[in-house]
Chain A
Amino acid sequence: MSVAQGTEIRRTRFGQKELLRLHDLLVYIVLSLVGIIFLLPFAWMVANSLKTIKEIYRLPPTFIPDSLQFTNYIDAWTATTFDRFFLNSVIVSACIVLGQLFTASLAGYSFARLRYPGRDKIFLLYISLLMVPFTVLMIPLYVQMRHFGWVNSLNAVIVPFLFTPWGTFLMRQFMVTIPRELEDAARIDGCGFFRTYALIILPLTKPALATLALFTFLSSWNSFQWPLIVLGTPAVKTLPLGLYSFQAQSSMRTPWHLIMAAATFVVLPILVAFVVGQKYYVRGIVTSGIKGGG
């Protein structure tokens, strides 16, 4: 294409600079309005988490509480065993993230680099099972968990999720793009396959590992349906389940201020994780989206 500075030409040729500025301003206004709509529920959550129960039921509703009731957070935290739920969620998420990073990177390396009979057929099987919805799996899986004696045990929400076809796929796609020369050099120097994987491949795969870690953390932290099925006793519940049973209590004057406080401290870690690791999350969506789908 010959017109490399086309944007400049387009901007100046008709003297449209001012018009474009106005256009930009309009776009900003629209984006901000939409942004407010997206943020409103969060703002409302935080505002309500700091009100008294009297104020929360008052009309018209207020955005800025009369006085900030920070004790709501302590009250909500101690109203039920949130410390237990929190600990369970941390244990479950940590195990799943570490487990998936390990199994998916090993298998990804195997699929991407090593040559052996049946490799591509197994890979195809993996990909084809990606589209099986969890709803189909949950009933047989529940029967299986019962058989293992894992109902009401954290094993049931950890062990079946230490393996990930999606993550394996992600790892394989990333590792295929790593230049072979580095590994070949290591192999000639006498590195075994495991050391090549651990010392050469893994460090180069860091961005993909970060993507997988973030995705896996978010999905295991947010996971609800399966824990709801297999975890019934309070001692093993995770945060989403705890929040669900906390907000499902129905009385005439539901303590919505405490529920909002609980929602705030459940949501906060996840929002922080996202804002910090946003780059990797965006990459995950885009690679698994465009490349996986096309």
Chain B
Amino acid sequence: MTVKLAPAQAKRSGAFAELTRAFTGLRREETLAGYLFLLPNFLGFIVFMLFPICFAFYIMLTEWSLSKPPEFIGLKNFEVMLDDRLFWKSLSNSIYYTVVAVPTGIFIAFWLALALNRKMRGIIFFRTIYFLPQVTLTVAAATIWRWMYQPNVGLINYILGLFGIDGPNWIHHTAWAMPAVIIMSNWQGIGSAMLILLAGLQGIPEEYYEAASIDGANGWQRMRFVTLPMLSPAIFFVVVTSLIGAFQSFDQFLVLTNGGPADATTPLTLYIYNSAFKFLKMGYGAALAAVLFVIILIITIVQWQLARRWVFGFEDN
């Protein structure tokens, strides 16, 4: 590795003088300790994060199957993408998944958090139960659900049958496979959203509710004018992280449906994985990954912009 750390600091002539001063003056021991303590972490950071990120910019401009040296082709990967049916399909799958899974998940998490936010016995017990799926390996969780989704001997269609409903062929049906993944993902992922919202609820001072009650506010009004505004920073955080997380989901798609049937559940992440490691198109995979990154970046920026309108006290932070 020939990575130099200097340029960022040496840019300004004053920086170098500052550095010299720091290493020779009264604080030299502290300066030395500061850099030394940072060193192990910083080396790893450069070699396994900063360098790969920069390297990715190069890879996405090449055609590279690993067996031959990379061939520089400029922006051709992105041109190919425009006519790639599978790219558009996987992109729309990712959007479908996100747009359905995130709002429903947060909606359920919100009501669960409200129900848990009271001084009753056994609340921690329930909190633990709701959180268990979250810490379970996605591979194991998806395996269990794959068995539960079996059309004939599966538990889910059996239970539906008890209510007289003829259950679909979940993961083998183009229209039902995506809802199947979404249900499983929400079962698994609701825990952390619920916890963050619960922490937010517990941070709302009791006095606000009392003041509202004395002013004659009913339950709905207390929710509308106290709970929601006070909880909006937590909701904002959950929305942003859930959106980003949904676009990055991979494990459950691979294990539950492996992208099928007929690519109905191939999200962008799985397509990137297949492009790079199944079809050995490193350049194309990296270009697709760049698209995913830009999408995540846009989501984050848009959310921060929107937050000014609806998140209580957002400008103050």
A-side interface residues toward B, CB under 8 Å?
1, 3, 6-7, 10, 24, 27-28, 30-32, 34-35, 37-42, 44-45, 48, 56-61, 102-104, 106-107, 109-111, 114-119, 121-122, 126, 129, 131-144, 146, 159-160, 162-163, 165, 168, 192-194, 197, 218, 221-222, 224-225, 228-229, 239-240, 243-244, 247, 256, 259-260, 263, 266-267, 270-271, 273-275, 278, 281-282, 285-286, 289-290, 293-294
**Nearest CB in chain A: distance from B249 CB, A:** 10
What DSSP secondary structure best describes chain A's contact surface? helix
By the criterion CB–CB under 8 Å, are B286 and A243 in contact? no
Rank and list the top 4 A-B pairs by shortest CB-CB distance, nearest first.
Answer: A163-B44, A293-B237, A6-B210, A1-B207
A59-B153, A260-B144 known; A119 vs B34 contact (CB < 8 Å): yes
- Contact status B143-A243, CB under 8 Å: yes
Cβ contact within 8 Å between B277 and A229: yes
Interface size class of B (residues with CB under 8 A): 35 or more
Contacts of B148 in A (CB 8 A): 41, 44
**Would you give the shortest CB distance from A78 to chain B, in whole angstroms?**
19
Known: A131-B296, A267-B137, A282-B195. A38 touches B29 (CB 8 A): no
Whether A285 pairs with B128 at a CB distance below 8 angstroms is: no
Looking at the assembled complex, report how far the CB atom of A285 sits from the nearest CB atom of chain B, in whole angstroms: 5
Known: A117-B15, A135-B292. A60 touches B40 (CB 8 A): no
* Distance in Å: Cβ of B147 to nearest Cβ of chain A: 5
Question: Taking CB as reference atom, which chain B residue is nearest A267?
Answer: B140
Q: Is the CB of B115 within 8 A of A30?
A: yes
Beyond contacts A45-B144, A117-B9, A244-B255: 14 other A-B pairs, Cβ-Cβ < 8 A, are: A41-B141, A41-B145, A44-B147, A107-B38, A135-B272, A137-B49, A140-B286, A192-B33, A197-B37, A244-B139, A259-B143, A274-B135, A285-B196, A289-B196
Q: Is the interface of B mostly helix, strand, loop or mixed?
A: helix
Can you give 12 A-B contacts (C-beta < 8 A)? A3-B214, A110-B37, A114-B33, A115-B34, A139-B272, A139-B285, A163-B41, A163-B43, A271-B136, A286-B199, A289-B234, A289-B241
Known: A59-B153, A61-B155, A107-B42. A146 touches B52 (CB 8 A): no
